Amino acid sequence: MDEVKRVMTENFSKDAVIGREVYSRVYQSLTEKEKREEYEKNKQYFSEPGEVTLSRIFIALGKDPVATQQRAAEIAVQAKSGTADFAALAKRYSEEPLGKDGGKIGSSIKIPDLAPEVKAAVETGASGSVTDPVKLENGFYIFRIDERKETKVLPFEDEKVQDAIGRFLVGQRAEKQVEAYLATLRDDAFIEIDQRYQFENSKVKSAQIKRIPYSEESAKEKKKRKKEEEKKAEREKKPAAGSN
C-alpha cells in the first residue's frame, strides 16, 4: 500500500509540474485571434441542439396491422384539421396512461435524443403541428409539437466555448512542448542509484534508477557527491602509480 501511495504521489507531482511548466504556459500564450479563428472553423461544434416538447396518441398494434394503421391515420386527420382538440383526442383514443393527461409527455427532449423515426417526423415541424402516424415496434404514435427550441449556436464569448477552445488548442500544441520539457529535465539530471542495487558488476535496470534534476539537489547532497567523486578519482590513480 505504501508503494502504491508513493507511485501515486510521484505521478501526481510529475503531472502538476508539467501542468505548471507546459500547459499553463501554452494556454497563456494563446491569442484571441487564434481562438476566434478556431471558433469560426468549428462553429458547428459550439451549438446547443434543438429541443421539442411533445404530446402523443398511442394506438397499439393489434391483430390486423393494416386496420390499426388506418385507425391511426383517421385520428391524425382529425388532429390536423383542428376539428377536435389534440388533448381531447388523446383522452378518448390513446391506449396508454399518458392519454389521461391529454397525451403530454412532460419535459422537453433534445431532438438528437429522439428515436430516429420520431426525429424524422418532428425535427422540421412547427410548434402546434401534428405528425402523420409514426410506426414503432409496439404500435402507431401520433405526435403534436407543443413547443420547440431551435438549435442555438453559442457565442464566442460564452464561457463553455472559451474553455473548449482553450483545451483543444493546448492539447494540440502542448504535446511537443511536453516532450521537449522532459528531454530538458533528462539532460539536466544526474543518476542516483539506490544502495540496494549497487552490486559489483551488476547491470542496473532503468526502473531502478532515480533521476534527480540538479536544481532539486540539496547543498549537502552536492557536497557528499563531490567528495565521493574525489575519492573515486584517487582510487583510480593509485593502481596507475603502482604500475610504474
Task: List the beta bridge partners of residue 145.
Answer: 54
Strands (DSSP E) along the chain, which ranges? 47-48, 51-60, 109-110, 134-136, 139-149, 152-153, 189-193, 209-213
- Angle among Cα 213, 216, 221 to the nearest 5 degrees reads 100
Full pLDDT tens readout for the chain, 244 residues: 454 444 444 444 445 555 556 667 777 778 899 899 999 998 888 888 999 999 999 999 988 999 999 999 999 999 999 888 999 999 999 999 999 999 999 899 999 999 999 999 999 999 999 999 999 999 999 999 999 999 999 999 999 999 888 888 887 776 666 666 556 655 555 555 455 544 455 444 444 444 454 445 556 666 777 888 888 778 777 655 445 5
The pLDDT value given to residue 145: 97
The pLDDT value given to residue 183: 62
Please give the torsion angle defined by the CA atoms of residues 193, 197, 203 and 207, in that order, rounded to the nearest 10 degrees. -60
The pLDDT value given to residue 6: 44
pTM > 0.85? no
Q: Are 93 and 59 in contact (CB under 8 A)?
A: yes
Q: How many domains does the chain have?
A: 3
CA 111 to CA 118: how far, in whole Å? 9
C-alpha cell at 94: 390513446
> Which residue range is the domain that position 237 belongs to?
190-244
Residues 179 and 227 in one domain: no
Residues 86 and 148 in one domain: yes
Q: Are 43 and 170 in contact (CB under 8 A)?
A: no
Here the CATH number for the domain that contains residue 141 is 3.10.50.40
CA 46 to CA 156: how far, in whole Å? 9
The pLDDT value given to residue 172: 78
CA 35 to CA 83: how far, in whole Å? 54
Residues 22 and 68 in one domain: no
The pLDDT value given to residue 167: 84
Residue 173 CA: distances (Å) to CA of 22, 29, 228: 10, 11, 43
Residues 100 and 142 in one domain: yes
Residues 23 and 69 in one domain: no
Upper half-sphere CA count for residue 129 (Cβ side, 13 Å): 12
Task: List the beta bridge partners of residue 165.
Answer: none
Residues 73 and 141 in one domain: yes
Residues 145 and 162 in one domain: no
Residues 4 and 56 in one domain: no
Residues 235 and 211 in one domain: yes
Residues 60 and 22 in one domain: no
Give the pLDDT confidence of 157-212 residue by residue, as tens digits.
Answer: 999 999 888 888 887 776 666 666 556 655 555 555 455 544 455 444 444 444 45
Residues 55 and 110 in one domain: yes
The pLDDT value given to residue 28: 78
CA 193 to CA 210: how far, in whole Å? 6
The pLDDT value given to residue 124: 92
Residues 30 and 147 in one domain: no
